[in-house]
Amino acid sequence: MREMKSIDGSGGLTGANELEAMDKLFDRLFPITRSIAGPGVRQTLAILGEQVPLDVFGVPTGTRVFDWEIPREWHIEEAWIRDEEGRTVVDFRNHNLHVINFSTAVDRVMTLEELKPHLHTIPHMPDAIPYVTSYYKERWGFCLSHRQLEQLRPGSYHVCIRSKHVPGELNFGQAVLPGESEEEVLISTYICHPSMANNELSGPITAAFLYNRLNKWEKRRFTYRFVWLPETIGSIAYLSMFGDELKRKLVAGLVLTCLGGEAGLHYKKSRRGNAPLDRLIEHLFAREIPGRTVPFTPTHGSDERQYNSPGFNLPVGQINRTLTPGFAGYHTSLDTKESMGIDKLLQSVNEIERILAAFEHDGFYINTQPFGEVKLDRHGLYPDMNSRMTARHSNNQLEDGRDQLKRILTILNYADGEHRLHEIADKCNSSVTNLVPLVNLLMEKGLLRGPYSEPRGLFD
């Protein structure tokens, strides 16, 4: 699938090695008790920092960030329920999800009836522990499988949650890969869900390996800014620090989430709907990479909702790889490594790298000899004899030559500063990726200038 060899000339981890490295990283990150603020985020960033040179930021508790305020940190030591016989019937040590994320502390004995309003289950999924959070309202509670709940007999129970909400900071990590231009591409993913696979770790792991791929490119047109942050409050805090800078610099962005599924890529466009990367991905999904696009919506999704809030309206989409249809484990203990595929993360890295590689070339070009056709043979680009036979009775190689010739003519004709390369590719009935070697050839010959990020006149 990866064919961007001209770009990725490095000798880094590939194939089986990358897969193995991903798998190990997954296993280290999975057990951590993440929440939106607290030690779990810091542990996660420390481990990611072994893969990627991270700058870790902290925003103090109580800081106002737009309409929000940075919460206290959540520290939790233990959380369990014991029955009258002293048997532990629910224990947070068995699964991070057994306690409401951000739960307040409790240490009481109560009847089952008193306890029940604090117990969360999913009756129609009797084996799943649900993922429940209560960040902004003080509340305590446990989550358990419905099967567990049904086994609880009437009687009195000792419930204990040893947790604290303490002033501290909200953390996120950033890694920037500089490019030739100050124009930036944002890659954002989140690190606040404990012990879930597709809807948590698939994003940060894909981002880390993608970083290493781009780091090996011989050159980068754009600067790439990778961020790992707690969802929602994290991206809002991030925007409060870097939003103005992003407004000036950002040309594209992707929120990475749920990238371990079986299906093809699924791209939710930016709010603008026609940002350069929105249009390129639509082109690539039609011609080269299996996938489909959907319009932006603010009603669900991830941090793209913040980046696309009307005050920012950044050109940031969201990309995911949907799970097998019918998989119901989202936001439960059933979202495990086994229910997705590490190999799918590798495929996501490959495909997103391919998209970004195409994006590097997908600007506006200028034909430096725009008056009349370029005399191709003078530049070593054309058969010197016009014969009907050449076209018709050629072997495959000659036919290929004819196709290349048509593509060259089309590139040169539309390299007028008003067409993006993927639009020229559409006129060639081709993927933009197929045009890149020809564009490079024409650049070498001095017949093209570009790519430019904005339309321009032929003589500007």
- Where along the sequence are the contacts to a copy of itself (CB under 8 A)? 65-68, 100, 120, 122-124, 130-137, 139, 232, 235-236, 239-240, 243, 271, 297-300, 305-306, 308-313, 330-332, 367, 369-375, 377-378, 384-389, 392-393, 405-406, 409-410, 412-416, 427, 458
- Write the single-letter amino acid at 143: C
Q: Which of 106, 35, 47 is nearest to 72 (CA)?
A: 35
- Which residue's CB is nearer to a copy of itself, number 346 or number 448? 448
- Which residue's CB is nearer to a copy of itself, number 19 or number 106? 106
- Which residue's CB is nearer to a copy of itself, number 50 or number 245? 245
- Which residue's CB is nearer to a copy of itself, number 116 or number 375? 375
Strand, helix or coil at 441? Answer: helix
- Which residue's CB is nearer to a copy of itself, number 70 or number 265? 70
Least distance between a copy of itself and beta carbon 193 (Å): 11
Q: How many CB atoms lie within 10 A of CB 400?
A: 11
Q: Which of 407, 431, 244 is nearest to 354 (CA)?
A: 431
Q: What is the DSSP string of 21-83?
A: HHHHHHHHHTT----SSSHHHHHHHHHHTTTS-PEEEEEETT-EETTEEPPPEEEEEEEEEE-
- Which residue's CB is nearer to a copy of itself, number 135 or number 452? 135
172 Cβ contact partners less than 8 Å away, ≥ 6 residues apart: 41, 45, 56, 57, 227, 228, 229, 230, 234, 237, 238
CA distance 449 to 446: 7
- Which residue's CB is nearer to a copy of itself, number 106 or number 409? 409
Least distance between a copy of itself and beta carbon 198 (Å): 14
- Which residue's CB is nearer to a copy of itself, number 21 or number 100? 100
- Which residue's CB is nearer to a copy of itself, number 153 or number 300? 300
Least distance between a copy of itself and beta carbon 279 (Å): 19
φ, ψ of residue 418 in degrees (nearest 5): -120, -5
CB of 413 closer than 8 Å to CB of 379: no
Least distance between a copy of itself and beta carbon 38 (Å): 17
Least distance between a copy of itself and beta carbon 251 (Å): 20
Q: Number of C-alpha atoms within 13 angstroms, CB side, residue 185?
A: 30
- Which residue's CB is nearer to a copy of itself, number 216 or number 456? 456
CB of 90 closer than 8 Å to CB of 130: no
- Write the single-letter amino acid at 50: E
Least distance between a copy of itself and beta carbon 99 (Å): 14
Q: Which of 147, 140, 148, 133 is nearest to 164 (CA)?
A: 140
Least distance between a copy of itself and beta carbon 299 (Å): 4
CB of 442 closer than 8 Å to CB of 410: no
CA distance 414 to 396: 27
Least distance between a copy of itself and beta carbon 171 (Å): 18
Least distance between a copy of itself and beta carbon 227 (Å): 15
CA distance 299 to 353: 28
CA distance 229 to 69: 16
Q: Which of 194, 169, 187, 185 is nearest to 65 (CA)?
A: 169
Least distance between a copy of itself and beta carbon 62 (Å): 15
